[in-house]
Amino acid sequence: MAPLKALLFDVDGTLADTERDGHRPAFNAAFADAGLDWEWSEELYGKLLAVTGGKERIRFYLDKFNTGFETPADLDGFIAGLHKAKTQHYLAMLGRGAIPLRPGVKRLIDEARAKGLRLGIVTTTTPENVTTLLGSTLGPESESWFDVIAAGDIVPAKKPAPDIYDWAMEQLGLNPDQCLALEDSANGVKSVLGAGIRSLVVTVNGYTQDEDVSGASLVVDQLGEHGSPCRVLSGQDTALTQIDVDVLCWLHEQTHMG
Ligand code: XBP
Ligand code: MG
């Protein structure tokens, strides 16, 4: 069995709870800037999360939820403009430190680095969103802790397609059986499994808690922190209180033996 070499982290919903109070209000602010009366409520946004990627999500909204809107001739340009404005709002929020990491994320990253595991980011969000989140939460040096940041339009087919994981592993020079992925959603799980990675921990959140994430080695409500234990929702050891490197190595071994 190949030993575990790298942890691959999703960003939105996994490193941080970015969607409800981050991306969503940033989209709404961009719509207001453009003089549009669109307002993505928390509930509607939950439905829109079926599609990953901000530009793709706006298109999905127009296709399915706002069919009466008279789209401009240059729809791609229109969406790109809205999305650019959205990214500026989102980056400003991150810059203000408005979005913290989820519990246990910093603890696990610090431990993984200390123990020589390689780290990667695999996400559909815009690259600048990733580097700004890392900078605002883990400090300006932290971008260099990651051997690969696979993000945004780097591959045309976003999650649930496996392409972004394939690309990240190619950059790292690693095979799927040397990696463990951390995700939060059904789309993320599909992407991971499609890329042939079988070691997979899912930390669900408010938007993803009812999604089908079967196929994960372990499903928890969070990674867990001292004084704030994780709850195992599905997996082998229900007595776990926090997900650390030993747990991940053990899971990796179990997954590849089973
Ligand atoms: C995350 C996303 C992202 C963000 C928006 O999915 O779907 O698109 O919602 O980011 P995952 P952009 O966690 O599965 O990678 O607007 O920058 O595209
Ligand atoms: Mg996610």
196 in Cβ contact with 180 (< 8 Å): no
Q: Residues of the chain with pLDDT > 90: what percent?
A: 96
- List pLDDT tens digits, range 68-79: 999 999 999 999
Catalytic residue, chosen from 12, 17, 184, 244, is: 12
- Count how many Cα atoms sit within 13 Å of the Cα of residue 193 in the half-sphere of its side chain: 15
Q: Please give the number of the atom of ligand 1 that sits closest to the Cα of 122.
A: 15
- List pLDDT tens digits, range 201-250: 999 999 999 999 999 999 999 999 999 999 999 987 778 999 999 999 99
Mean pLDDT confidence for 59-69? 98
Question: What element of type H or E holds 234?
Answer: strand 232-234
The Å distance, Cα 88 to ligand 1 centre, comes to 15
Mean pLDDT confidence for 102-131? 98
CA separation for the pair 60, 65 (Å, rounded): 8
- List pLDDT tens digits, range 173-206: 999 999 999 999 999 999 999 999 999 999 999 9
Q: Where are the domains of the chain?
A: 6-17+101-257, 19-95
Which residue has the CA at smallest separation from atom 8 of ligand 1? 53
* Nearest CA among 8, 10, 198 for reference residue 119: 8
Which residue has the CA at smallest separation from atom 16 of ligand 1? 54
- List pLDDT tens digits, range 143-169: 999 999 999 999 999 999 999 999 999
Q: Please give the number of the atom of ligand 1 that sits closest to the Cα of 52.
A: 7
- List pLDDT tens digits, range 120-133: 999 999 999 999 99
pTM passes above 0.95: yes
Check if 52 has its Cβ closer than 6 Å to any atom of ligand 1.
Answer: yes
pLDDT at 258 (0 to 100): 67
Q: Which CATH number fits domain 19-95: 3.40.50.720, 1.10.1370.30, 1.10.3720.10, 1.10.150.240?
A: 1.10.150.240
The CATH class given to the 6-17+101-257 domain equals: alpha beta
76 is catalytic: no
List, in order, residues 6 or more apart from 235 with CB less than 8 Å away: 216, 217, 218, 219, 220, 251
| Residue 32 backbone dihedrals phi, psi, to 5 degrees | -65, -45
pLDDT at 235 (0 to 100): 84
Q: Please give the number of the atom of ligand 1 that sits closest to the Cα of 123.
A: 15
The Å distance, Cα 100 to ligand 1 centre, comes to 17
Q: Which ligand is nearest to the CA of 58?
A: 1
Check residues 85 and 2 and name the one with the higher pLDDT.
Answer: 85
Q: Residues of the chain with pLDDT > 70: what percent?
A: 100
Tokens encoding 110: 């610090």
* Nearest CA among 117, 104, 105, 184 for reference residue 146: 117
